[in-house]
Every structure is written in C-alpha cells, then in structure tokens.
Amino acid sequence: MSATGQARLAARQIVRVYGQRTVVDHVDLEAEAGRITVIIGPNGAGKTTLFNALAGAEIPDSGQVLLNGRDVTRLDSDDLARLGVARTFQQSTVFSSLTVAENLRVGAENRARDGMVRGLVGLPDRTRFTSRAKVEDVLTELGLRPLRDVQAASLPTGTLRMVELGRALCTRPNVLLLDEPASGLDDAETEELHQLLHRLADRGLALLLVEHDLDLVREAADVVYVMAAGAILASGRPEEVIRRADVRSVALGIPT
C-alpha cells in the first residue's frame, strides 16, 4: 500500500517526451478504490498520453506507475489487464468480426495466460463456465442482452462504447480507466452511464476517467484533476475546482 493507504493506481512524477515536446510533465495522480477520479483539460493537454502510460500502452520516459504499491511501470497493457487494470479507448477497439457476446467473452476469459496449446489440441478452456456466467451478468447490467448475437461491425458508435465498457468489465477489474466514455452517447445513455459508474464505485472499483463534459464531471466525479500543457494545475473536489475562475480560464477556456 502506498502512503495514502487506499490508493489503487498511482502515478509518480510521470514524464513523457515526444521529440522536443514534453507532453506529460512530472505528473502525480491517484485513483482510489471506491472513487470516481476524473482528469479534465483542453485538447492536447496530455490526458490521453498520461492515460496510455497508466494503462501500459506507452512506457513513460521517467516516473513510476504503482498498482497497490507495486511498480508496474514497465508492464505491457495485457499484463496490466491480467492484474486487474482495464481500460476503454477514445476510438472504439471493439472486435468487429465478433458478436457482442463474443467480444465480452474475450474480456472474460483472458485473466489467465495459459490456453494456447490446450486450445490447439482441442481441449476445452478451464475458465469456460465462470467466463460464460460473467458475460451474462455484464450483458444484463449494461442492457446489451438484446444485441447479444449481433456482429459488432454493424453497431452504432454509442453502442460500441457500451460493448467496450462491457468487455473491460468482463476482465473483472479493480481499476477501470475510461477515455471519454460519454462521447457519442445521447442524454439518456449518458444518464445511464452516470448511474453505472456510481454503482461500480460503490462496489469498490477505482475509476479513472478522461472527460470533456463538465456536466458529467459535476455529477459523477469524486475527485478532479485539471491538466493543461502536460502538467496538473489543480486537483480536488469537483465543485470547488470548477468554481475557481483561474482554473476555468486556463484549463477550460471559459472566460472569467
């Protein structure tokens, strides 16, 4: 456990440089269990890069990523997924030739790495009963059951987001990283998403979101980090952070 006691996923002095430009500049951040933590900031602030570093998709140039106090900085994203860090992407990465249920199944059944040789010789997968049950649970929870056997290639963007979220949930995460989960959703869907996020937090998941939508931040966030030009400018309770005029003008481009 790290110094704060409860932290599940933490960034320590993360730096990421592209050529001459420092995209993420000594960022400290914590996503704690049972809380919804949101990173906000203008385009190009380095949010997604930071996100990729936390999810193992990019290795930071310096700094550490800690998962329950364990250094996971150099692990790949699949290692992290198996350790319980799941994520979604800004652009859909749903597997288009699989059905919705199969997409979720991929998430559910890869908690263990074995199975290639077993699969090749035709032995059934050891986890098939538990992963099947998990898929059914998540299908129900996200209201995707009617689309169970629909091929993902034919789904609209909003639904793809939910499928991707479902796939992430099927990996049984302790930490869930969501990159702009509300974009492409209509009002009703966004409202459902809020409720879902709260339910997940209540179950003890650590949620970390990148989000543009201030309404969502106000309604859903427990902690907000404001990021601009690669650095964290402010953090704290959302209503207080957003109320500050300087934060609004610098980070969100809202005139004072």
Start-end of H helices in 97-227:
100-109, 116-121, 128-142, 157-170, 187-202, 214-220
C-beta closer to other proteins: residue 47 or 105: 105
Query: By CB under 8 A, which span of 18-26, 28-36, 166-174, 237-245 interacts with other proteins?
Result: 166-174
Give the closest residue to 72 by CA, choosing from 17, 81, 3, 111. 81
C-beta closer to other proteins: residue 152 or 197: 152
Number of residues interacting with other proteins: please give it, by CB under 8 A.
42
Using CB under 8 A as the binding rule, whether residue 120 contacts other proteins is answered as yes
Report the largest interatomic distance among the alpha carbons of the chain, rounded to a whole angstrom. 66
Shortest separation between residue 132's beta carbon and other proteins, angstroms: 11
- CA–CA separation, 54 and 11 (whole Å): 7
Exactly one of 128, 145, 218, 237 binds other proteins (CB under 8 A); that residue is 128
Strand 206-210, strand 36-40: pairing: parallel
Exactly one of 4, 97, 187, 256 binds other proteins (CB under 8 A); that residue is 97
Exactly one of 5, 124, 146, 156 binds other proteins (CB under 8 A); that residue is 124
Exactly one of 96, 130, 157, 195 binds other proteins (CB under 8 A); that residue is 96
Exactly one of 105, 169, 220, 247 binds other proteins (CB under 8 A); that residue is 105
101 and 167 in contact (C-beta within 8 Å)? no
- CA–CA separation, 155 and 153 (whole Å): 6
Restricting to residues 44-73, name those near other proteins by CB under 8 A: 55, 57
Amino acid, res. 245: A
Give the closest residue to 67 by CA, choosing from 33, 114, 26, 38. 33
Positions touching other proteins (CB under 8 A) are 55, 57, 76-79, 81-82, 86-89, 93-98, 102, 105-107, 109-111, 113, 115-116, 118-122, 124-125, 127-128, 151, 164, 167-168, 171
